[in-house]
Amino acid sequence: MSDDQRDQTPVEPAAEAAAPAQPPVPTGPEPEPIRFFGTTWVNHDGGYGLRRVGVAVGALAIAVIGAFLLRLSYEGLEIGNVGPFLSISVIVLFAIASSIAFAKTWDSFSRRPAPSSDEAALKGLKAIGFIGSLIAYFLRCFVEAPGEKLRRTEYEHASAEFARRRSSRTGNPAARRPKRKK
């Protein structure tokens, strides 16, 4: 056998062989992570405050950059001398798209969309009105992590349900006496 063949033999980890397989103990529901925050929103630890500030500043900076790029594209339309109708139409389009994107993004922080809703159809509109979505993120970071209230409500409800289900179990159900018939 050559040295190359001997080096390719699998080595079993001693820790896995020594530890007996135990069933996982349910500890309760896991909190759902939020983008940019992970699960730090649960206890407001792990740099939660700094993350909120970072998301707010980042959203505002990207919104300003986006507005600047839209301004440059509008100036390109003016240089191209496309006429007042198209120039005004572009401004109105971006204003309406931004306001719809702001409203839909703001609503998504407090409730989950229905499975059959028109959210998928509005993705293009929300992409056009990205400045509205970024402003919604910026403003929401002053109050909480975007979507924290919704996820906190769901997490607390799931925790209460888990505690209720765990507390109702007492003893071994197989060892219980059968109920007396009346």
Percentage of the chain with pLDDT > 70? 79
Q: Is the pLDDT of residue 44 over 90?
A: no
Q: Write out the two tokens for 93.
A: 């389009």
Q: Write out the two tokens for 147.
A: 């979507």
Poorest-pLDDT segment among 8-22, 91-105, 144-158, 167-181: 8-22
Q: Is the pLDDT of residue 83 over 90?
A: no
Q: Tell me the whole-structure pTM to 2 decimals.
A: 0.72
pLDDT at 72: 93
Burial tier of 167 (Cβ tally within 10 Å: 0-12, 13-18, 19+): exposed
3-state secondary structure the chain: CCHHHHHCCCCCCHHHHHCCCCCCCCCCCCCCCECCCECCCCCCCCCHHHHHHHHHHHHHHHHHHHHHHHHHHHHHHHHCCCCHHHHHHHHHHHHHHHHHHHHHHHHHCCCCCCCCCCCCCCHHHHHHCHHHHHHHHHHHCCCCCCCHHHHHHHHHHHHHHHHHHHHCCCCCHHHCCCCCCC
For residues 152 and 32, the answer to whether their CB atoms sit within 8 Å is no
| Calpha distance 56→145 (Å, rounded) | 10
The rounded mean pLDDT for the chain is: 83
pLDDT at 25: 64
Q: How confident is the model at residue 140 (pLDDT cuts 50, 70, 90)?
A: very high
pLDDT at 178: 74
pLDDT at 12: 55
Burial tier of 151 (Cβ tally within 10 Å: 0-12, 13-18, 19+): buried
Tens of pLDDT, residues 101-138:
999 999 988 888 777 667 777 888 888 999 999 999 99
Q: How confident is the model at residue 71 (pLDDT cuts 50, 70, 90)?
A: very high
Higher-pLDDT residue of 114, 147: 147
Tens of pLDDT, residues 7-24:
565 555 555 555 556 666
Q: How confident is the model at residue 55 (pLDDT cuts 50, 70, 90)?
A: very high
